Amino acid sequence: MLLPPTNWLSQAPLEHLHLDWLTTAGIEVALLRLDQIDPLISGNKWFKLVEHLKAAERVGAEGIISLGGAHSNHLHALAAAGKRLGFKTVGLLRGHAQETPTVLDLQAFGMQLHWLGYGGYRARNEPDFWAPWQAQYPQLYAVPEGGGGLAGALGCAVIKEQAQAQLPSLGWTDYHGWWLACGTGTTLAGLVLTEGGAHPVYGALAVPDDHGVAPQVESIMQSAGLATADYELIDASRGGFAKVDPGLLAFIEQTEQASGVPLEPLYTGKALLALKQQVEAGRFAPGTRLIFIHTGGLQGRRGFIPTST
């Protein structure tokens, strides 16, 4: 059995985000704290995994093989789930062998690691990429990078359900849109599908254009048979994936002190800074209410933010 009992993780709290720049603009933001659903399997990662696990169980697989980098939140959540639920996990990693806090955790959780180099990792979208790995691990089910694809997106429908159920606690009857960081675009695609055009979804791109987020989102839309979709991708990469600069780190430190909400610099920190820039540019009218998804990934901050901050 790869799947746990229903509702085995905590529900994500939905809470007001109080920051001066939001108050000045007259914008209300509710923060969906997916970082609080579990100490290890946190953020949006489990939601993207659950439909893949169902598919793996249907074909009788004994575990999961997937891809990621040396700071991968996806692999971290997958390995932790595998250890807790008792299924095998294999990780195919970008680059060459290195020790990061994430990699050490993957090993402690029992994930078998293979380093692909950079050229080998770039080939992950080639038609024949998975063949040798499936030959080596025939008992495992292959999951795309980040838990992507239509299956990953469909698992994210629960995120909307959790948020909407808590709107009355904020005194809200409705909202005007979603804002979240995008690494593969899977969570954004899942929200777009479940919204069906009712509310727009704004994706703050934490990766450059060459990571192919837009084509991946469009591919998911096509797979789901959705002809039109209300979403927008906004560059928040600050020059590249995992690019961290003093301005971003200063913003994160100031925001954590003001709000008490922990952030990380690769996704949620970049997404919130991009929202601030859009708000200060007058993008949203006073009275706008947005749901901002905290996509977790706090384990990854260990490689970028000193523990003293």
The catalytic residue positions are 72
Closest to 266 measured CA to CA, from 292, 291, 296, 229: 296
Q: How far apart are CA 22 and CA 292, in angstroms?
A: 13
Order of all β-strands in the sheet with 140-142:
112-115, 88-93, 63-68, 140-142
Residue 31 token pair: 């923060």
Helix (H, G, I), strand (E, B) or coil at 265: coil
One-letter amino acid identity for 272?
L
Q: Which of 107, 47, 54, 39 is nearest to 79 (CA)?
A: 107
Q: How far is CA 164 from the centre of its chain?
A: 19
Alpha-carbon distance 206 to 215, whole Å?
15
Distance CA 193, CA 138 (A): 32
Distances 149 to 42, 144, 174 between C-alpha atoms, Å: 20, 7, 29
289-294: strand order across its sheet: 14-16, 28-33, 289-294, 177-182, 201-205, 231-235
Beta strands 231-235 and 140-142: pairing type?
Answer: unpaired
The residue written with tokens 């698992």 in the block is 155
Q: Residue 168 is encoded by which pair of tokens?
A: 């009355």
Contact 296, 45 (CB under 8 A): yes
